Each structure stands twice: as C-alpha cells, then as structure tokens.
Amino acid sequence: MTTNPPSAVSVDVRGFVCPSSLLIALRELNKYRDSLRTDDFTMELMVDNHDSTNRICDAVKSMGYDFQVSDVGHGYCIAVSKPKILKDGHL
C-alpha cells in the first residue's frame, strides 16, 4: 500500500518578526515546488500583515503559480496551487 502525498499544506507565519514571515513563506514555497506542480495540491499561507501578503503574492505570481487571497479571521490566507494552464519551463 502506498501513502498518498498530502493534498494540502498550511504554513502559518502570523505574528512573526519581519522579514521572517516573508523568508519562511518563500522557503516553504521552494520546499514544496514539486508538489505544487501536481494537480489537487494547495499550499495555504496564513499571513497577518498586508505588506507581506502583497509581497508573497507578487513572488508567487512571478513563480507562475495560481493564487487566491481571502480574509480569514484577523489575517489573510493565500492559497497557492498549480496554474490551470501550465506553461513549459515556467515553473
């Protein structure tokens, strides 16, 4: 029997000292880059600061992933996933 890889990973950087939140978010995105190329995998980044949210989204966008920002509690949740149309060599 094989275990399936996780379909979602959540990373919480709320309350972290600037710029640790951004550095950790980028590190985790890099760590899960193989999973992020598969379908049905979502990475949720929980962020409490609006500037970090902007910068993470900007970075995610330039990496070519799809993302969605939503207000969750007193912070933001950035859901990152494989782009619908995958361009070769973009990831």
**53, 4, 16: which is closest to 79 by C-alpha?**
53
CA distances from 88 to 29, 70, 85 (A): 19, 29, 10
Nearest to 63 by CA among 31, 29, 38: 29
Q: Which of residues 49-78 bind another protein (CB under 8 A)?
A: 49-51, 53-55, 57-58, 61, 69, 71, 73-76
Closer CB to another protein, 7 or 61, in the complex: 61
By CB under 8 A, the residues from 13 to 42 that bind another protein are 14-20, 23-24, 26-27
The contact set with another protein (CB under 8 A) reads: 12, 14-20, 23-24, 26-27, 48-51, 53-55, 57-58, 61, 69, 71, 73-76
